[in-house]
Amino acid sequence: MNYNWNWRIFWEPSPDGVGTYMDTLLSGLEWTLATALSAWLMALIIGTIIGTIRTTPNKVAVRIANAYVELFRNVPLLVQMFLWYFVMPELVPESIGNWLKSLQNAPFVTAVLCLGFFTSSRVAVQVSAGIQSLPRGQKLAGTALGLTLPQTYRYVLLPMAFRIIVPPLTSEFLNIIKNSAVALTIGLMELTARARSMQEFSFQVFEAFTAATILYIVVNVVVVFLMRWIEKRVAVPGFISGSTGTGGH
Amino acid sequence: MFANFDFNVIQRSWVYLFQTGMTFTLELTALAMIGGIILGTLLAMMRLSKFRLLASVATGYVNLIRSIPLVLVIFWFYFLVPYIGAWLIGASEPIKVGAFSSSLITFILFEAAYYCEIMRAGIQSIPRGQVFAGYALGMNYWQTMGNVVLPQAFRNMIPVLLTQTIVLFQDVSLVYVLSITDFVGAASKVAQRDGRLVEMYLFVAVVYFVLCYALSMLVKRLQQRVAIIR
């Protein structure tokens, strides 16, 4: 075993000329967080819509929503990245395609789109599970009070469902942060990509990856605590949060 | 819309894609599944063990692996395995490890953390009384686990284990970051050689979709069949 440890490498200037290796890694972390947060926003909005549709009485709409979920679940994320980055600009009209290819932040935009759609299918499954875990009486009560179906969803079902699915949504959010690392294949300089390039330039493999690992763990811990706090704030008395649809005795 | 595209490229590279690429992907998936489930079960037993040290080592490992991206884990082990190998056999230089063994080790160690959580749920789903009954009959820990608890835990968890295997099958595509020729790697090599990115990546997506969708339907069916009626 002859590996030369050099933990001071982080304070040495990096070859990109803007700062130290530490600055490079932290800027990678910013890209990771920016990608994950933007994609998460998109996933929540689309996922809620698709997930809600999956529980409506309209059979055709349910089928389309189910097909949407299956489509994004059964293709590897890496392949989806390639589809958005290499294939999509070729299939849209040429002018839009050229505009997409000349975008300055093309990898970022693509990664957000890809992760957003990918995660939306997962959020959709959780949202439908949350709605279906509610007692049937709630929907009936809503309609009995004279609410329309959209109103019942807006004021009765969705507010309850969201509170119930906070724990699974937390793990989806953690997943989106981790999945953003796949975007390095299309050239997004996020945390893992920065660690990799630091390793290539400085040959300090294990220091670079250790730093990236620690940063990921810190982000994880922060997210978990934040979501636990949110979970407590929004908990509905009388419901055991986290147990969606498990029948007891 | 597809006028400028040449889908014959798929026909031309068919043999390479499947014989070299898909074979690698499937072999890696199968071996990583077997290794991952075995190691995952051991980890689950450690997590549930009454020895605090064993339990916290396993918990720490599982939480660590589950909080970092697979791509980073792949890089970690790609560089780490030669050093560990050298340390194990006492060599002074990092040993050379082939692409296949390196990624196999990575995926076994990575997926074990996920299989562990599934097996832990499986073991915990068995009523405690069965363990006590095992001990009361004079069986030791390994006998109780091997003959009473684990067979039932596996049976309960088969659908979840298989679903995780579908995830593993998709995850294997990430060995692309090491320029290994798995199915995606093979397709992307052909795509770049012939300048046919659109055709190849669409084809890859279709193949994955068909395989994964068929498998997940199979798992759904199985789920109804293996369910233990209580």
Task: Please report which helix (H) or strand (E) contains residue A139, including its range.
Answer: helix A136-144
Q: What is the pLDDT of residue A127?
A: 96
pLDDT exceeds 70 at position A246: no
Residues of B with CB under 8 A from a CB of A: 1, 64, 67-72, 75-76, 79-80, 83, 86-87, 92-93, 170-171, 173-174, 176-177, 184, 188, 197-198, 201-202, 204-205, 208-209, 212-213, 216
Tokens matching residue A142: 């809503």
Q: Select the residue from A3, A5, A66, A74 to test the B interface by mutation, using most B Cβ atoms within 10 A.
A: A74
In a domain, A105, yes or no: yes
CB spacing of A82 vs B201 below 8 angstroms: yes
Q: Which residue of B176, B198, B209 is in closest CB contact with A185?
A: B176
pLDDT at A239 over 70: no
- Chosen for mutation from B1, B190, B206, B209 (greatest number of chain A CBs closer than 10 Å) is B209
Q: Which residue of A75, A203, A225 to mutate against B (max B Cβ within 10 Å)?
A: A75
Task: Give residue-wise pLDDT tens across range B31-62.
Answer: 999 999 999 999 999 999 999 999 999 999 99
For chain A, what is the domain count? 1
Please answer yes or no on whether B79 and A90 come within 8 Å at the CB atom: no
Residue A32 belongs to some domain of the structure: yes
Q: Is the pLDDT of residue A247 over 60?
A: no
pLDDT tens sequence across A9-36? 788 887 776 788 888 899 999 999 999 9
CATH code of A188's domain:
1.10.3720.10
pLDDT under 50: residue ranges of chain B:
none
Question: Is residue A81 very low, low, confident or very high in pLDDT (cuts 50, 70, 90)?
Answer: very high
pLDDT at residue A203, as a whole number: 82
Mean pLDDT value across residues A220-227: 93
Rounded mean pLDDT, A173-188: 94
Q: Which residue of B has its CA nearest to A207?
A: B76
Mean predicted confidence (pLDDT) in A69-94: 92
Q: What is the pLDDT of residue A240?
A: 57
CB contact under 8 A, B69 and A216: yes
Q: Which residues form the domain of A120?
A: 21-234
A16 CB-near residues (< 8 Å, 6+ apart): A24
Flag whether A243 is in a domain: no
User: Would you place residue A249 in the very low, low, confident or very high pLDDT band (cuts 50, 70, 90)?
Assistant: very low
- Which segments of A105-160 are extended strands (E)? none
Q: Are A74 and B174 in contact (CB < 8 Å)?
A: no
Give the closest-approach CA distance of B11 to chain A in angstroms.
Answer: 19
Handedness of CA A20, A27, B103, B174 (dihedral sign): negative
CA A25-A26-A28 angle, to 5 degrees, is: 65
Between chain A and chain B, the number of residue pairs with CB atoms below 8 A apart is 107
Asked whether the beta carbons of B161 and B118 are under 8 A apart, the reply is yes
* Superfamily in which the B22-181 domain is placed by CATH: MetI-like (1.10.3720.10)
Contact assessment for residue A127 and residue A52, using Cβ atoms and an 8 Å cutoff: yes
Report chain A's mean pLDDT, rounded to a whole number.
89
A3 lies in some domain: no
Sort out which chain A residues have CB atoms less than 8 A from B204's CB and list them: 79, 82
A227 domain-assigned: yes
